[in-house]
Amino acid sequence: MTKAKVYHDGAVSGARRAVDAFLSILLTALSLIWIYPVVLILLNSLKAETAISTTSVFELPTSETFVGLDNYIHGVTQMNFLSSFGYSVVITVTSVLLIILCCSMCAWYITRVNTLPSRLMYLLCAFSMVVPFQMVMFTLSKTADSLSLNTPFNICIIYLGFGAGLAVFMFTGFMKSVPLAIEEAAMIDGCNPLQIFFRVVFPILKPTAISTAILETMWVWNDYLLPTLVLDIKKYRTIPMAIQYFRGSYGRVEMGPMMACIMITVIPIIIMYLACQKYIIEGVVAGAVKG
């Protein structure tokens, strides 16, 4: 190997390290920018109301402004936050489970049958992802009222319709990479279609199912517009709706308890995301590229 070759390789390696270092610094700065609002909410959830409404909103809590968990206790006990939290849990869990179950079975049918109706079904699911919600929201609210879908216990059917596009797209892309011979072997062993799906196919779909569940959970949990249009606000309020109507005496917004409840809302999603983040890229890439 000549000296020129060694020098060239060293220069390329040095330039690559410099680029990697620059990208690391840039991405770290962007991460801090994204994390800053969450940290700001956390700090202000520990402050007194007077400190939040002044310029000290951007400062660390001091001995004069620190109130500990008083805002959390007040937000949970006085603002009926626990019922809103329960409604959000019910809506999110039922909607995500229904989306994962129905859309994985639909993607399996589309992939294995591969007829003109199944291809049209896939195109309709893909097309639903580009239809703006504002085009159908008024018709949707009237239809939900007429079909009695305006409670937290059956709004999951509406979420299934809106979440099916992305879920079917991801599951179908992954199903195209699953060998048909595995299912044929299970059929020879005496399995019926349901046994083949739940015992053979669905375990293989685990990465895509988890990544889809995370994406759908973040969407349903933080959704404000659809529950506001469909649910009876006087009876049922999800967490985003409760925070929107977070009012104290004389209509005054109590910022301390509001920020405390926002932190309680954010923590479950952060924990779920950190626990399952390794499946997100794997599932998205598998559902969008394979096949």
192, amino acid identity: N
Q: What is the dihedral of CA 213, 218, 224, 230, to 10 degrees?
A: 10
**Res 291: pLDDT:** 44
Q: How far apart are CA 236 and CA 228, in angstroms?
A: 9
Structure tokens given for 287: 């559902």
| 107 C-beta neighbours (distance < 10 Å), count | 27
Q: How far apart are CA 176 and CA 193, in angstroms?
A: 18
Structure tokens given for 94: 């039922």
Q: What angle do CA 67, 255, 253 make, to 5 degrees?
A: 135
Render 193-244 in DSSP notation, one character per residue.
HHHHIIIIIHHHTHHHHHHHHHHHHHHHHH--HHHHHHS-TTT---HHHHHH
**Res 281: pLDDT:** 64
Phi, psi of 66 (to 5 degrees): -75, 130
Q: How far apart are CA 99 and CA 252, in angstroms?
A: 39
| 147 C-beta neighbours (distance < 10 Å), count | 11
Q: What angle do CA 269, 275, 281 make, to 5 degrees?
A: 95
Q: Has residue 258 got a pLDDT over 70? A: yes
Q: How far apart are CA 280 and CA 210, in angstroms?
A: 7
pLDDT band at 290 (very low <50, low <70, confident <90, very high): very low
Least confident of 8-12, 117-121, 153-157: 8-12
Q: What angle do CA 117, 119, 122 make, to 5 degrees?
A: 110
End-to-end Cα separation, the chain, in angstroms = 43
Distances (CA, A) of 279 to 84, 204, 268: 29, 13, 17
Render 72-128 in DSSP notation, one character per residue.
HHHHHHHTTHHHHHHHHHHHHHHHHHHHHHHHHHHHHHHHHH--HHHHHHHHHHHHH
Q: How far apart are CA 47 and CA 72, in angstroms?
A: 11
162-210: pLDDT as tens digits? 888 889 988 988 888 888 888 888 888 888 888 889 888 898 888 888 8
69-114: pLDDT as tens digits? 888 888 888 777 788 888 999 999 999 999 999 999 999 999 988 8
